[in-house]
């Protein structure tokens, strides 16, 4: 006579089967085969393997941290960080409080011609330095940024020559420009991520806020004279896009830590550029 399985054992099997068939757990957690034999009604499934699968799947499903702008490329990450360091008057994304005179709206500035000349001279030193570094390319990636059309040294040389023809004495570079140029030289030899942060912020800031400042200052003290510093050969938007693509391409080979290091250098770039900009009001 065949023996009957106790009710408690059948109920236990029923509960286990419910666990295995629970659709909320997902098919990845189900064992590939369930073997059942009578009359002992024993069920075998790889508990250790299933547990390991749970850990593995959980780890794989953890969402990767996304950085603001990352989906559009690294230049968008750089732009996002830079915008946060503007004041609300300078950019709608700005979060910085106005502390320095040059951070006030340009309409409230009181520029001087001597100060503007010092600004142009120090700016030329910085652009001379940037373009010399890119030309020598101590790191191969720098060579990507030769002849971009954004270069400013020759344009500034023409402007300073014009001022000289008008009878103005051209000053020597002052401390803000000399300090920044030396910093860029040192950085370029040992830290390409940080150097390219400055490269991006200097050129792109000039193409945006820099142009607006140049226009306002020209209206105030130069009888609306259009300086070469604020002119580009070719379509500026396309020149900028070409450099964006090059920067994104170079950054593709960087680790996340290297990208973060680049972004962290943004504040120093703003500090040095701000000290040169302040010369306009001196």
Is residue 234 left, alpha or beta, with left meaning phi > 0 and alpha meaning psi from -120 to 50?
left
Domain that holds residue 180: 112-280
> Over 50: is that where the pLDDT of 208 sits?
yes
Q: Is residue 58 part of a domain?
A: no
Size of the chain, expressed as the number of residues it contains? 282
Q: Is residue 150 part of a domain?
A: yes
What percentage of the chain exceeds 70 in pLDDT? 78
> What are the backbone dihedrals phi and psi of residue 42, each rounded to the nearest 5 degrees, phi first?
-90, 145
Q: Is residue 162 part of a domain?
A: yes
Q: Is residue 87 part of a domain?
A: no
Dump pLDDT digits (tens) for 256-277.
999 999 999 999 999 999 999 9
Of residues 54 and 178, which shows the higher confidence score?
Answer: 178
Dump pLDDT digits (tens) for 127-173.
999 999 999 999 999 999 999 999 999 999 999 999 999 999 999 99
Of 254, 263, 255, nearest to 200 (Cα)? 263
Average per-residue pLDDT for the chain: 84
C-alpha 55/C-alpha 34 separation (Å) is 21
Q: Is residue 119 part of a domain?
A: yes
Joined tokens for residue 201: 């912020």
pLDDT band at 60 (very low <50, low <70, confident <90, very high): low
Dump pLDDT digits (tens) for 64-86.
777 888 899 999 999 999 999 98
Q: Reduce the DSSP state of residue 228 to 3 states and report it.
A: helix
Of residues 37 and 203, which shows the higher confidence score?
Answer: 203
CATH number at residue 198: 1.20.910.10
Of residues 161 and 106, which shows the higher confidence score?
Answer: 161
pLDDT band at 63 (very low <50, low <70, confident <90, very high): low
Q: Is residue 128 part of a domain?
A: yes
- The count of other CB atoms within 10 Å of the CB of residue 136 is 11
Of residues 88 and 193, which shows the higher confidence score?
Answer: 193
**Mean pLDDT, to the nearest integer, of 30-35?**
41
Q: Is residue 30 part of a domain?
A: no
Of 151, 148, 144, 146, nearest to 124 (Cα)? 151
Joined tokens for residue 218: 């020209």
Dump pLDDT digits (tens) for 186-204.
999 999 999 999 999 999 9
Say how many domains are in the chain.
1
Task: Give the pTM.
Answer: 0.77
Q: Is residue 78 part of a domain?
A: no
């Amino acid at each position: 006579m065949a023996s009957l399985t106790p009710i408690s054992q059948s109920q236990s099997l029923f509960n286990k089967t419910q666990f295995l068939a629970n659709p909320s757990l997902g098919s990845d957690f189900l064992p590939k085969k369930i073997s059942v034999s009578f009359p002992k009604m024993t069920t075998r499934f790889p508990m250790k393997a299933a547990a390991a699968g749970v850990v593995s799947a959980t780890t794989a499903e953890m969402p990767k941290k996304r950085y603001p702008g990352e989906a559009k490329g690294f230049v968008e990450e750089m732009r996002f960080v830079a915008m946060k360091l503007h004041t609300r008057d300078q950019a709608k994304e700005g979060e910085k409080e106005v502390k320095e005179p040059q951070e006030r709206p340009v309409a409230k500035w009181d520029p001087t011609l001597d100060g503007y000349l010092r600004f142009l001279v120090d700016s030329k030193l910085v652009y001379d330095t940037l373009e010399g570094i890119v030309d020598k390319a101590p790191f191969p990636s720098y060579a990507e940024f030769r002849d971009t059309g954004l270069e400013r040294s020759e344009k500034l040389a023409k402007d300073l020559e014009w001022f000289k023809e008008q009878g103005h004495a051209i000053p020597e570079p002052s401390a803000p420009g000399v300090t920044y140029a030396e910093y860029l030289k040192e950085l370029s030899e040992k830290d390409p991520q940080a150097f390219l942060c400055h490269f991006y912020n200097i050129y792109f800031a000039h193409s945006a806020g820099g142009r607006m400042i140049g226009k306002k200052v020209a209206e105030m003290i130069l009888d609306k004279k259009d300086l070469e510093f604020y002119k580009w050969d070719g379509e500026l938007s396309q020149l900028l896009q070409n450099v964006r693509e090059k920067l994104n391409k170079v950054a593709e080979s960087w680790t996340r830590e290297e990208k973060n290091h680049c972004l962290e250098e943004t504040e120093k770039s703003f500090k040095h550029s701000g000290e040169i900009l302040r010369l306009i009001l001196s």
